[in-house]
Structure 1
Amino acid sequence: MDTHQCDQAAYLCMLWHRLAAQHIALGCACAMSGVTVTLEDFEHDIADHFLARSEREGMTEVVDFLLLRGPLAVQPQPVRDILQRLSDGETSSAVSDWLLPRMSRTLQSYAELHGPALAAPLLGGSKAWRGAYRGDV
């Protein structure tokens, strides 16, 4: 795994951390019922998607990498773990070549639709956050 791939994985890891805790608007009155849904709530589904796809495409090295820490259902934060291991260079180029573009598309599309720009402040109140929402920095 080369330095560029590690850097890309580190960027995706940072993006995931920013997006994972955000509320997702589902077009329903979820706030009125006291239920809050975040991207992190879909973490196992996202990881399972990559597992199923790698199995369908016969990417056994990717499957082995994804299941290295046990079944996805018992991994506490599989997407965070996958991205961290990729950013630490703990895999082959074949695995990172397959996973990084797919994870990048998934996370970037969510960020474009629902998330703030990476430069958006995490603190500073709603006005500061709103000023940097969706790339308006």
Structure 2
Amino acid sequence: MAEEQLMQAARLVSLWSELSIRHVALGMSCGCGAGGISLRLEDFELDIVDYLEDAALRSDLPAVAAYFRSQQAAGWPPSPLLVLLQQASEGELPAPVCDWVLPRVEKTLTSFKALHGGGAGA
């Protein structure tokens, strides 16, 4: 795997670690004082991995589909996005999987950061 991909993956591990602990408010408080629902971005981790898995299985890239099928069969580990990014940052993912997955994760995480990054503390 290229050094550039290793660095990109390491940046994404750091970005996910930073973003995953932030809160996202869903709803507003009403006049009775009942607050809205607040979730952490890490609560969306499985949704992100499900999106990646679905897109990978529909892709025309056999190595990418095979990787996600193997993860599906084995069962994703706890914190699957973090594990995926850590594997990439340590050079443990096949190059075609990194080529495919890193840009998608980067786009997703930068979107989360743009929407929820400013002022939303842990």
Task: Report the equivalent of 2:4.
Answer: 4
Distance 1:56 1:49, change over 3 A: same
Q: Deviations over 1:48-102 (max 9, x none)?
A: 1000001111334223434448223xx2100000000000011222111100110
CA contact (8 A) 1:54 1:60 kept: no
* Identity among equivalent pairs (%): 37
In structure 2, stretches of 5+ residues that fail to align are: none
Q: Which has the larger share of helix?
A: 2
Q: Which has the larger share of strand?
A: 2
TM-score normalized by the length of structure 1: 0.73
1:11-90 matches, within 5 Å, as 11-29=11-29, 32-33=34-35, 35-66=37-68, 67-68=70-71, 70-72=74-76, 75-90=77-92
Distance 1:64 1:25, change over 3 A: same
CA contact (8 A) 2:25 2:38 kept: no
1:58-137 matches, within 5 Å, as 58-66=60-68, 67-68=70-71, 70-72=74-76, 75-116=77-118
Quote the Cα distance in structure 2 between the aligned partners of 1:25 and 1:112. Answer: 15
TM-score normalized by the length of structure 2: 0.81
In structure 1, stretches of 5+ residues that fail to align are: 117-129
CA contact (8 A) 2:23 2:40 kept: yes
Quote the Cα distance in structure 2 between the aligned partners of 1:38 and 1:50. Answer: 20
